[in-house]
Chain A
Amino acid sequence: MNQSWNRIKWISLCVCLFLMGIFPAFAGEDVSQAQLLAMLKEQAAEIQKLKEEVARLQSPQSTPSANSNSPLANMRPEDLTALVTEKVREETRAQRESRTMDAISQSLFGLEFHGSITQAYAVSGDNNYLSIDTEGGSFALMDATFNISKQMTDKLRGGMQIYIRKFGEEQDHAFEIDWATLDFHWRDWLGIRAGRVKTTLGLYTDSQDLDMVHTWAFAPGAIYDPASRGATISHDGVDIYGSIPLWRAGMLNYTAYIGSTSLPDYDGYLASTRYTGMDTDNAEVPFLGGFDLNFQPEGLLTGLKIGASYAAFTYDIDASGDMTPEAMQSFLGTQTGYAEINMESSEHNGPSNISTAYMEYQRDRFKFMAEYRRQYIDAIVTENFRSMNAELSRRDEEDTRGWYVGGSYRLNERWELGSYYSSFIADSGADHSDPGNYQHDLALTVRFDMNPYWYIKVEDHIMRGWGISRNYDNADREEQWNLFVIKTGLSF
């Protein structure tokens, strides 16, 4: 079964890459440019031919007998010029219509295709960046998307996107359906999306993977932890959304959603469970509901977006297996004498939520953004140590805080500079001076756009603490460390 599934995934990937490779034919852009050039050449030849004909007919040397057979012979010069112009115009229109039909068939009857691919190289001092072996320099950072969509009627649109990612040891070219939605845009103030929908939560949760639209190479980890991406990136359910104009004041945008999701295998929390020697049997988020509300004023403050998001969720995680002595020692803080401990664990949370406040200001070449997020989890964890014939039940409360401020400036068509400072506290109730409980990150990025489709980013991070990392990421740690990234990407 697994082999078949893997085969399907790789065949799909090859099809996507093939389609990306022949994109110009689908997009019609290069084709239309070539066609336009050919058309202009044909037009020039036609005009030249007709001009020569007019000149010959109007020449004093031309004999009446030579002219008498031509319909152009008795026409006035201005009529001849009008005729030439009209003829060229007619031919141009016919050619264009013919080529437009070609372009329509090439875009497969209104289907629209887009895709992207990125590859990064990261090297760090002292600490690994999450599960990636960046201390030794690593290329294990790649992702790709491919989407297809169609505007079915003026109100109904459908589409889907696949997402493939290599992210350190946790995610090895894993393939997933990123979104697959039907979107009914009934009015500007009310629309409905259903299916697998990208979750609107804060500024960039839904666009955190879209490297081509951001200045940074790595998003601020205090809020957009790439190892925990899967928990909030999308949900299977229904969204309602809309934009309500507030007379002369601006626009109020809202999104409300309800659905469910599941934690993917590569999720950082599940990966840390695997590290203990146990297997995850179930990792579901049976309920996820929330809303986002933001205001975009008009007038002097055009370009400002200020808003807040809230999401409530429940989750169930069940794991079982043989916990390693090292993990057991780390867990209990003492040696047990057991070679391995067979156990099962279940974690069910009570009222848990994520709340975010944010603002973004874009004006001409300048962009500024700031965001604050709190994640509160209140869970009951039950552990049955079967080898020891003991059961332990505890309440696990986690109050995570993160924020960042950042900005970017586009110097010219190709160069852009950006920077952000992000701060993360893993548990606000714990010691804030413990480097394992915080992570501060100062990032500076230079972005160079080769053309509208291809870019390169060079980014340096100065880090303090390792609060975002998991236990298995590093054997030894240093409080101060740095991370250097080079990333390139293509999109169409």
Chain B
Amino acid sequence: MSLDKDTGAMPEFHRIIMGILILALVWTACVFSEELPPPTNEVTISIVASTETAQALGSLTAEDIRLVFLGKRTDIRGIKVHPIMLDLAEPKELFLSTYLKKSSSQYMNYWKVMVFTGKGRSPKSFDTESEVLEYVASHPGAIGFVTFMPESKEVSVITIAP
């Protein structure tokens, strides 16, 4: 089973096994691979919070949003804040690339490091925009993002200062 001492090459058996594995990997990739959907210009991201939270916070900067979603800022002007993720591919990618300059997988890995080293707890996430709106409406300090301007007295859009 060991490699050839003179040439350092793999024996026939290993080469066949490796070849099969690589072919299987390529085949699986061809079958399952899907390009990331390119963010479309039609979708716009609105940062939302409960109306009382939004009023208390006033306007935020893009850097504030980045730090809140990285868990590095939990207190803005005396208000405890925490991020809420929308787990929908296109809005999520657009939000992460706009505000955090990260891909979805990089963001997921960032929080896995925090969780598996005992240094943080990943943000709560929801599959639908209505769930995000419902959660932020009933949880002061929760900051989320959606792709439409909600007509609601309970939820308001946070202005992002340049």
* A183 partner residues in chain B, CB cutoff 8 A: 118-119
B162 on interface, CB distance cutoff 8 Å? no
Q: In the complex the two chains form, is A114's CB within 8 Å of B115's CB?
A: yes
How many angstroms between the C-alpha atoms of A197 and B5 in the bound complex? 45
Q: In the complex the two chains form, is B74's CB within 8 Å of A185's CB?
A: yes
How many angstroms between the C-alpha atoms of A8 and B106 in the bound complex? 37
Q: Interface of chain A, helix or strand or loop or mixed?
A: strand
Q: In the complex the two chains form, is A125's CB within 8 Å of B34's CB?
A: no
Instruction: Choose one: A151, A245, A410; the contact of B121 (CB below 8 Å).
Output: A151
How many angstroms between the C-alpha atoms of A225 and B71 in the bound complex? 30
How many angstroms between the C-alpha atoms of A123 and B14 in the bound complex? 9
* B25 partner residues in chain A, CB cutoff 8 A: 446, 448, 456, 458
How many angstroms between the C-alpha atoms of A69 and B46 in the bound complex? 48
Q: In the complex the two chains form, is B101's CB within 8 Å of A135's CB?
A: no
Q: In the complex the two chains form, is A243's CB within 8 Å of B72's CB?
A: yes
* B154 partner residues in chain A, CB cutoff 8 A: none
B56 on interface, CB distance cutoff 8 Å? no
Instruction: Choose one: B29, B75, B106; the contact of A362 (CB below 8 Å).
Output: B106
* B103 partner residues in chain A, CB cutoff 8 A: 364-365, 410
Instruction: Choose one: A197, A362, A415, A458; the contact of B33 (CB below 8 Å).
Output: A415
Q: In the complex the two chains form, is B32's CB within 8 Å of A147's CB?
A: no
B35 on interface, CB distance cutoff 8 Å? yes
Interface size on A, residues (CB 8 A): 70
- If A136-B1, A364-B101, A414-B33 touch, whether A207 touches B116 (CB-CB below 8 Å) is yes
B18 on interface, CB distance cutoff 8 Å? yes
Q: In the complex the two chains form, is B72's CB within 8 Å of A212's CB?
A: no
B16 on interface, CB distance cutoff 8 Å? no
Q: In the complex the two chains form, is B74's CB within 8 Å of A114's CB?
A: no
- If A123-B3, A136-B2, A213-B113 touch, whether A147 touches B118 (CB-CB below 8 Å) is yes
B134 to chain A: closest residue by CB: A96
Q: How far is the CB of B133 from chain A (nearest CB, A)?
A: 13
Q: In the complex the two chains form, is B106's CB within 8 Å of A145's CB?
A: no
How many angstroms between the C-alpha atoms of A182 and B18 in the bound complex? 46
A481 on interface, CB distance cutoff 8 Å? yes
Q: How far is the CB of B92 from chain A (nearest CB, A)?
A: 12
Q: In the complex the two chains form, is A147's CB within 8 Å of B3's CB?
A: no
Q: In the complex the two chains form, is A362's CB within 8 Å of B32's CB?
A: no
- If A123-B14, A188-B73, A458-B22 touch, whether A449 touches B116 (CB-CB below 8 Å) is no
In the complex, 15 of the A-B residue pairs with CB atoms within 8 angstroms, ordered by the A residue number, are A123-B10, A126-B5, A135-B2, A149-B121, A154-B80, A161-B118, A187-B75, A210-B117, A212-B109, A245-B67, A253-B72, A303-B101, A410-B106, A449-B105, A458-B21
If A36-B127, A410-B103, A414-B33 are given as contacts, then 10 extra A-B residue pairs at C-beta distance below 8 Å, sorted by A number, are A123-B3, A180-B118, A181-B118, A193-B119, A212-B109, A213-B112, A251-B72, A298-B66, A364-B103, A410-B105
